[in-house]
Protein backbone atom coordinates (compact mmCIF):
# COMPACT_ATOMS: atom_id res chain seq x y z
CA UNK A 1 0.00 0.00 0.00
CA UNK A 2 1.47 3.39 -1.01
CA UNK A 3 1.67 6.29 1.45
CA UNK A 4 -1.37 8.15 0.16
CA UNK A 5 -3.52 5.03 0.32
CA UNK A 6 -2.21 4.35 3.83
CA UNK A 7 -3.07 7.90 4.94
CA UNK A 8 -6.58 7.50 3.59
CA UNK A 9 -6.91 4.12 5.30
CA UNK A 10 -5.86 5.46 8.70
CA UNK A 11 -8.11 8.52 8.36
CA UNK A 12 -11.06 6.26 7.53
CA UNK A 13 -10.26 4.10 10.55
CA UNK A 14 -10.23 7.16 12.83
CA UNK A 15 -13.67 8.16 11.49
CA UNK A 16 -14.91 4.63 12.13
CA UNK A 17 -13.65 4.78 15.71
CA UNK A 18 -15.49 8.04 16.41
CA UNK A 19 -18.75 6.77 14.92
CA UNK A 20 -18.57 3.36 16.58
CA UNK A 21 -17.52 4.75 19.96
CA UNK A 22 -20.48 7.12 19.79
CA UNK A 23 -22.90 4.23 19.39
CA UNK A 24 -21.09 1.61 21.45
CA UNK A 25 -23.01 0.00 24.27
CA UNK A 26 -20.91 0.60 27.35
CA UNK A 27 -21.96 -1.71 30.19
CA UNK A 28 -24.28 -0.12 32.73
CA UNK A 29 -22.57 -2.09 35.50
CA UNK A 30 -18.90 -2.86 35.98
CA UNK A 31 -16.50 -3.83 38.75
CA UNK A 32 -16.74 -0.44 40.43
CA UNK A 33 -20.19 -1.65 41.56
CA UNK A 34 -18.41 -4.45 43.46
CA UNK A 35 -16.42 -1.96 45.57
CA UNK A 36 -18.03 -0.50 48.70
CA UNK A 37 -16.50 2.46 50.47
CA UNK A 38 -16.84 2.68 54.24
CA UNK A 39 -18.67 5.93 54.99
CA UNK A 40 -18.28 7.43 58.46
CA UNK A 41 -21.57 8.53 59.97
CA UNK A 42 -19.50 11.19 61.80
CA UNK A 43 -17.20 12.47 59.04
CA UNK A 44 -16.02 15.49 61.06
CA UNK A 45 -15.46 17.53 57.91
CA UNK A 46 -16.75 20.74 56.42
CA UNK A 47 -17.63 21.41 52.80
CA UNK A 48 -14.59 22.74 50.99
CA UNK A 49 -14.78 23.35 47.21
CA UNK A 50 -10.98 23.45 47.02
CA UNK A 51 -10.56 19.94 48.39
CA UNK A 52 -10.49 18.48 44.86
CA UNK A 53 -7.36 20.42 43.88
CA UNK A 54 -4.18 18.43 43.38
CA UNK A 55 -0.86 18.40 41.54
CA UNK A 56 -0.55 16.89 38.07
CA UNK A 57 3.09 16.36 37.15
CA UNK A 58 3.90 19.54 39.06
CA UNK A 59 0.96 21.60 37.73
CA UNK A 60 -1.90 22.57 40.05
CA UNK A 61 -5.26 21.41 38.69
CA UNK A 62 -8.81 21.77 40.01
CA UNK A 63 -9.71 18.07 40.21
CA UNK A 64 -7.95 14.68 40.20
CA UNK A 65 -9.65 13.64 36.95
CA UNK A 66 -8.93 14.65 33.36
CA UNK A 67 -10.24 14.24 29.82
CA UNK A 68 -8.48 11.16 28.51
CA UNK A 69 -7.31 10.40 24.96
CA UNK A 70 -9.98 9.97 22.29
CA UNK A 71 -9.13 11.15 18.77
CA UNK A 72 -7.25 13.59 16.53
CA UNK A 73 -5.48 13.97 13.21
CA UNK A 74 -8.60 14.27 11.03
CA UNK A 75 -11.13 17.07 10.60
CA UNK A 76 -13.77 15.42 12.78
CA UNK A 77 -11.21 14.61 15.47
CA UNK A 78 -9.76 18.12 15.43
CA UNK A 79 -13.22 19.58 16.04
CA UNK A 80 -13.73 17.23 18.99
CA UNK A 81 -10.33 18.13 20.44
CA UNK A 82 -11.10 21.84 20.18
CA UNK A 83 -14.27 21.34 22.22
CA UNK A 84 -12.42 19.19 24.74
CA UNK A 85 -9.68 21.79 25.13
CA UNK A 86 -12.21 24.56 25.73
CA UNK A 87 -13.91 22.39 28.36
CA UNK A 88 -10.47 21.75 29.90
CA UNK A 89 -9.76 25.46 30.08
CA UNK A 90 -13.13 26.32 31.64
CA UNK A 91 -12.78 23.69 34.34
CA UNK A 92 -9.07 23.76 35.14
CA UNK A 93 -8.40 20.11 34.34
CA UNK A 94 -5.93 18.43 31.94
CA UNK A 95 -6.81 17.09 28.53
CA UNK A 96 -5.19 14.27 26.53
CA UNK A 97 -5.14 14.25 22.74
CA UNK A 98 -5.86 11.02 20.92
CA UNK A 99 -3.04 9.32 19.05
CA UNK A 100 -0.84 11.81 17.20
CA UNK A 101 1.34 9.16 15.57
CA UNK A 102 -0.54 9.93 12.32
CA UNK A 103 1.63 13.07 12.08
CA UNK A 104 4.52 10.84 11.00
CA UNK A 105 2.63 9.78 7.88
CA UNK A 106 0.67 13.01 7.40
CA UNK A 107 2.67 16.03 8.67
CA UNK A 108 -0.22 18.36 7.83
CA UNK A 109 -2.32 16.76 10.56
CA UNK A 110 -0.12 18.44 13.20
CA UNK A 111 -1.90 21.73 12.51
CA UNK A 112 -5.18 20.46 13.98
CA UNK A 113 -3.48 19.44 17.22
CA UNK A 114 -1.69 22.81 17.48
CA UNK A 115 -4.89 24.77 16.90
CA UNK A 116 -6.65 22.82 19.64
CA UNK A 117 -3.68 23.17 22.00
CA UNK A 118 -3.89 26.94 21.74
CA UNK A 119 -7.36 26.85 23.29
CA UNK A 120 -6.27 25.76 26.77
CA UNK A 121 -3.65 26.88 29.26
CA UNK A 122 -4.19 23.67 31.21
CA UNK A 123 -1.76 20.72 30.98
CA UNK A 124 -2.14 18.52 27.94
CA UNK A 125 -0.98 14.99 27.24
CA UNK A 126 0.13 13.86 23.80
CA UNK A 127 -0.58 10.25 22.85
CA UNK A 128 1.51 8.09 20.49
CA UNK A 129 1.89 4.41 19.72
CA UNK A 130 5.01 2.53 20.73
CA UNK A 131 6.28 2.38 17.15
CA UNK A 132 6.45 6.17 16.73
CA UNK A 133 9.73 7.57 15.42
CA UNK A 134 11.81 9.48 17.98
CA UNK A 135 12.02 12.48 15.67
CA UNK A 136 8.22 12.71 15.52
CA UNK A 137 8.06 12.44 19.31
CA UNK A 138 10.44 15.39 19.64
CA UNK A 139 8.39 17.39 17.12
CA UNK A 140 5.15 16.72 19.01
CA UNK A 141 6.70 17.70 22.34
CA UNK A 142 8.11 20.90 20.86
CA UNK A 143 4.90 21.83 19.03
CA UNK A 144 2.31 20.95 21.67
CA UNK A 145 4.19 21.53 24.94
CA UNK A 146 2.67 18.54 26.74
CA UNK A 147 3.25 18.02 30.45
CA UNK A 148 3.66 14.27 29.81
CA UNK A 149 3.59 11.83 26.91
CA UNK A 150 1.18 8.89 26.71
CA UNK A 151 2.34 5.75 24.92
CA UNK A 152 -0.58 3.45 24.23
CA UNK A 153 -0.17 -0.32 24.19
CA UNK A 154 -3.07 -2.15 22.57
CA UNK A 155 -2.23 -5.72 21.61
CA UNK A 156 -5.82 -6.98 21.83
CA UNK A 157 -7.11 -4.13 19.68
CA UNK A 158 -4.33 -4.68 17.12
CA UNK A 159 -5.12 -8.41 16.95
CA UNK A 160 -8.80 -7.79 16.20
CA UNK A 161 -8.28 -4.70 14.01
CA UNK A 162 -8.40 -5.68 10.32
CA UNK A 163 -5.32 -3.52 9.62
CA UNK A 164 -3.66 -4.23 12.97
CA UNK A 165 0.02 -4.93 13.45
CA UNK A 166 1.23 -8.14 15.03
CA UNK A 167 4.65 -7.08 16.34
CA UNK A 168 4.20 -6.35 20.03
CA UNK A 169 7.85 -6.12 21.06
CA UNK A 170 7.41 -2.76 22.73
CA UNK A 171 9.69 -2.41 25.76
CA UNK A 172 12.80 -1.33 23.86
CA UNK A 173 10.73 1.07 21.76
CA UNK A 174 9.14 2.58 24.87
CA UNK A 175 12.63 3.15 26.25
CA UNK A 176 13.68 5.01 23.11
CA UNK A 177 10.56 7.19 23.18
CA UNK A 178 11.22 7.96 26.86
CA UNK A 179 14.69 9.16 25.98
CA UNK A 180 13.47 11.25 23.05
CA UNK A 181 10.54 12.82 24.91
CA UNK A 182 12.48 14.44 27.74
CA UNK A 183 9.26 14.66 29.80
CA UNK A 184 7.41 12.14 32.00
CA UNK A 185 6.03 9.15 30.11
CA UNK A 186 2.70 7.44 30.79
CA UNK A 187 2.17 3.96 29.40
CA UNK A 188 -1.54 3.46 28.73
CA UNK A 189 -3.72 0.52 27.81
CA UNK A 190 -6.86 1.10 25.74
CA UNK A 191 -9.48 -0.81 27.69
CA UNK A 192 -7.99 -4.23 28.43
CA UNK A 193 -6.16 -3.49 31.69
CA UNK A 194 -2.72 -4.16 33.13
CA UNK A 195 -1.23 -7.26 34.70
CA UNK A 196 1.16 -7.27 37.67
CA UNK A 197 4.28 -8.26 35.76
CA UNK A 198 3.94 -5.54 33.11
CA UNK A 199 3.44 -2.83 35.74
CA UNK A 200 6.53 -4.05 37.58
CA UNK A 201 8.56 -4.08 34.36
CA UNK A 202 7.48 -0.54 33.49
CA UNK A 203 8.47 0.57 36.99
CA UNK A 204 11.91 -0.94 36.43
CA UNK A 205 12.10 1.00 33.14
CA UNK A 206 11.44 4.24 35.04
CA UNK A 207 8.17 5.29 33.42
CA UNK A 208 6.39 8.14 35.16
CA UNK A 209 2.92 6.62 35.31
CA UNK A 210 0.81 3.68 34.23
CA UNK A 211 -2.74 4.27 32.99
CA UNK A 212 -4.40 0.91 33.64
CA UNK A 213 -7.36 1.60 31.29
CA UNK A 214 -9.23 -1.57 32.14
CA UNK A 215 -12.33 -3.14 30.66
CA UNK A 216 -15.69 -1.82 31.79
CA UNK A 217 -16.11 1.08 29.39
CA UNK A 218 -15.69 1.49 25.62
CA UNK A 219 -14.72 -1.91 24.20
CA UNK A 220 -12.24 -1.72 21.32
CA UNK A 221 -12.49 -5.45 20.73
CA UNK A 222 -16.17 -4.99 19.89
CA UNK A 223 -15.46 -1.86 17.85
CA UNK A 224 -12.74 -3.49 15.75
CA UNK A 225 -14.71 -6.72 15.42
CA UNK A 226 -17.59 -4.77 13.92
CA UNK A 227 -15.19 -3.44 11.28
CA UNK A 228 -14.12 -6.93 10.17
CA UNK A 229 -15.49 -8.57 7.05
CA UNK A 230 -14.73 -12.06 8.30
CA UNK A 231 -13.00 -13.82 11.16
CA UNK A 232 -15.15 -13.19 14.21
CA UNK A 233 -13.30 -12.21 17.42
CA UNK A 234 -16.34 -11.61 19.63
CA UNK A 235 -15.06 -14.27 22.03
CA UNK A 236 -12.38 -11.79 23.09
CA UNK A 237 -14.95 -9.20 24.16
CA UNK A 238 -14.23 -9.88 27.84
CA UNK A 239 -10.49 -10.25 27.40
CA UNK A 240 -8.23 -8.60 29.93
CA UNK A 241 -8.57 -7.09 33.39
CA UNK A 242 -11.24 -4.71 34.58
CA UNK A 243 -10.14 -1.32 35.85
CA UNK A 244 -10.68 -2.43 39.44
CA UNK A 245 -8.74 -5.67 38.88
CA UNK A 246 -5.95 -3.61 37.30
CA UNK A 247 -5.86 -1.33 40.34
CA UNK A 248 -5.53 -4.46 42.49
CA UNK A 249 -2.70 -5.58 40.20
CA UNK A 250 -0.95 -2.25 40.72
CA UNK A 251 -1.11 -2.84 44.47
CA UNK A 252 0.52 -6.25 44.02
CA UNK A 253 3.21 -4.72 41.80
CA UNK A 254 3.91 -2.13 44.49
CA UNK A 255 4.35 -4.95 47.01
CA UNK A 256 6.84 -6.73 44.75
CA UNK A 257 8.82 -3.54 44.24
CA UNK A 258 9.00 -3.00 48.01
CA UNK A 259 10.86 -6.29 48.50
CA UNK A 260 14.59 -5.47 48.96
CA UNK A 261 16.51 -6.54 45.85
CA UNK A 262 19.37 -4.08 45.52
CA UNK A 263 18.46 -0.46 44.83
CA UNK A 264 14.76 0.28 45.46
CA UNK A 265 12.59 0.79 42.37
CA UNK A 266 9.98 3.55 42.70
CA UNK A 267 6.43 2.67 41.79
CA UNK A 268 5.01 4.73 38.91
CA UNK A 269 2.00 6.90 39.60
CA UNK A 270 -1.20 5.01 38.83
CA UNK A 271 -3.97 6.41 36.63
CA UNK A 272 -7.39 4.79 36.69
CA UNK A 273 -9.42 4.81 33.49
CA UNK A 274 -11.89 2.58 31.71
CA UNK A 275 -15.56 2.64 32.63
CA UNK A 276 -15.51 5.77 34.78
CA UNK A 277 -19.20 6.75 34.83
CA UNK A 278 -19.60 9.25 37.67
CA UNK A 279 -17.80 11.05 40.53
CA UNK A 280 -18.26 8.04 42.84
CA UNK A 281 -16.20 5.91 40.41
CA UNK A 282 -13.53 8.62 40.62
CA UNK A 283 -13.58 8.47 44.43
CA UNK A 284 -13.40 4.66 44.41
CA UNK A 285 -10.42 4.84 42.06
CA UNK A 286 -8.62 7.17 44.45
CA UNK A 287 -9.44 4.91 47.40
CA UNK A 288 -7.99 1.95 45.49
CA UNK A 289 -4.69 3.73 44.97
CA UNK A 290 -5.01 5.79 41.80
CA UNK A 291 -3.45 9.24 41.87
CA UNK A 292 -5.52 10.55 38.95
CA UNK A 293 -8.50 9.36 36.92
CA UNK A 294 -8.99 9.58 33.16
CA UNK A 295 -12.45 9.86 31.61
CA UNK A 296 -13.16 9.25 27.92
CA UNK A 297 -16.41 7.55 26.93
CA UNK A 298 -18.71 9.40 29.31
CA UNK A 299 -17.41 12.82 28.26
CA UNK A 300 -17.33 11.98 24.55
CA UNK A 301 -20.93 10.78 24.72
CA UNK A 302 -22.04 14.03 26.36
CA UNK A 303 -20.16 16.13 23.81
CA UNK A 304 -21.52 14.30 20.77
CA UNK A 305 -25.08 13.98 22.05
CA UNK A 306 -25.58 17.28 23.86
CA UNK A 307 -22.82 19.64 22.79
CA UNK A 308 -19.84 21.49 24.18
CA UNK A 309 -21.72 23.59 26.72
CA UNK A 310 -23.31 20.46 28.21
CA UNK A 311 -19.88 18.83 28.50
CA UNK A 312 -18.40 21.86 30.29
CA UNK A 313 -21.35 21.89 32.68
CA UNK A 314 -21.06 18.14 33.31
CA UNK A 315 -17.38 18.46 34.23
CA UNK A 316 -18.22 21.35 36.57
CA UNK A 317 -20.91 19.21 38.21
CA UNK A 318 -18.46 16.32 38.62
CA UNK A 319 -16.04 18.63 40.41
CA UNK A 320 -18.74 19.90 42.75
CA UNK A 321 -20.08 16.43 43.48
CA UNK A 322 -16.61 14.96 44.01
CA UNK A 323 -15.85 17.75 46.47
CA UNK A 324 -18.92 16.77 48.47
CA UNK A 325 -18.06 13.07 48.31
CA UNK A 326 -14.53 13.67 49.59
CA UNK A 327 -15.97 15.44 52.64
CA UNK A 328 -18.77 12.88 53.02
CA UNK A 329 -16.21 10.11 53.35
CA UNK A 330 -14.27 12.00 56.01
CA UNK A 331 -11.31 13.21 53.97
CA UNK A 332 -9.79 16.70 53.82
CA UNK A 333 -8.52 16.46 50.23
CA UNK A 334 -8.32 14.36 47.09
CA UNK A 335 -4.77 13.33 47.95
CA UNK A 336 -5.91 11.74 51.22
CA UNK A 337 -8.62 9.56 49.65
CA UNK A 338 -6.35 6.50 49.60
CA UNK A 339 -7.10 6.36 53.33
CA UNK A 340 -10.78 5.62 52.74
CA UNK A 341 -11.49 2.04 53.91
CA UNK A 342 -13.20 -0.20 51.39
CA UNK A 343 -14.53 -3.72 50.99
CA UNK A 344 -15.43 -5.74 47.91
CA UNK A 345 -17.87 -8.48 47.03
CA UNK A 346 -16.93 -12.16 47.04
CA UNK A 347 -16.10 -12.25 43.31
CA UNK A 348 -13.46 -9.54 43.57
CA UNK A 349 -12.26 -10.97 46.86
CA UNK A 350 -11.73 -14.32 45.14
CA UNK A 351 -9.82 -12.60 42.33
CA UNK A 352 -7.55 -10.84 44.82
CA UNK A 353 -6.87 -14.02 46.79
CA UNK A 354 -6.07 -16.04 43.69
CA UNK A 355 -3.82 -13.32 42.30
CA UNK A 356 -2.04 -13.05 45.65
CA UNK A 357 -1.19 -16.76 45.42
CA UNK A 358 0.38 -16.18 42.02
CA UNK A 359 2.48 -13.28 43.19
CA UNK A 360 5.85 -14.08 44.73
CA UNK A 361 9.24 -12.34 44.66
CA UNK A 362 10.46 -12.29 41.08
CA UNK A 363 7.51 -14.26 39.71
CA UNK A 364 3.98 -13.21 38.81
Q: Is residue 131 part of a domain?
A: yes
Residue 141 belongs to some domain of the structure: yes
Q: Considering Cα of 233, then 236, then 238, then 244, what sign does the dihedral take?
A: negative
Is 28 a domain residue? Answer: no
Q: Is residue 276 part of a domain?
A: yes
- What is the domain extent for residue 220? 3-23+45-228+236-358
Query: What is the number of domains present in the chain?
Result: 1
The per-residue pLDDT for range 107-139, each reduced to its tens digit, is: 999 999 999 999 999 999 999 999 999 999 999
Note whether residue 40 is domain-resident.
Answer: no
Q: Does 14 fall in a domain? A: yes
Rg over CA atoms, the chain: 20
Q: Mark 254-267 as b/e (b = at least 16 C-beta within 10 Å).
A: bebbeeeeeeebeb
Q: Is residue 333 part of a domain?
A: yes
Per-residue pLDDT of 139-165, as tens digits, reads 999 999 999 999 999 999 999 999 889
CATH of the domain at 180: 3.20.20.70
pLDDT band at 3 (very low <50, low <70, confident <90, very high): low
Residue whose C-alpha is closest to residue 283's, from 225, 237, 348, 342: 342
Q: Confidence class of residue 352 from pLDDT cuts 50, 70 and 90?
A: very high
Average pLDDT over residues 2-14: 66
Predicted confidence at residue 170, as pLDDT, reads 97
The per-residue pLDDT for 75 is 82
Report strand pairing: 54-56 vs 209-211: unpaired
CA distances from 71 to 151, 169, 296 (A): 14, 24, 10
Question: How many C-beta atoms lie closer than 10 Å to residue 5's C-beta?
Answer: 9
**Alpha helix positions (H), 56-205:** 75-91, 102-105, 110-117, 134-144, 155-160, 171-181, 196-205
Q: What is the mean pLDDT of residues 296-301?
A: 94
Q: What is the pLDDT of residues 201-254, one digit of tens each?
A: 999 999 999 999 999 998 999 999 999 988 999 999 999 999 999 999 999 999
Residue 136 resides in a domain: yes
Does 192 have pLDDT greater than 90?
yes
> For residue 50, what are the contacts with CB-CB under 8 A and spacing of at least 6?
none
Is 164 in a helix, a strand, or coil? coil
Question: For the chain, what percent of residues have pLDDT higher than 90?
Answer: 81
Amino acid sequence: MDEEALRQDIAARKRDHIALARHSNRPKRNDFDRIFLVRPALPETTSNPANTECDFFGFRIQAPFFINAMTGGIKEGDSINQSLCRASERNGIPMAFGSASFVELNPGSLKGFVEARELTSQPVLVNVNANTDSGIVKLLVKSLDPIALQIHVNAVQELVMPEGGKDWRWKEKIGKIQEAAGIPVIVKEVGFGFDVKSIKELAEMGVGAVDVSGKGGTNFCDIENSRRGKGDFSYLSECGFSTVQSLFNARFARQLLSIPEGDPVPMPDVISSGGIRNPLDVLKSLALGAKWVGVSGEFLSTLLESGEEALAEEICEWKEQLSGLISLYGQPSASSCQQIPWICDVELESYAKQMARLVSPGEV
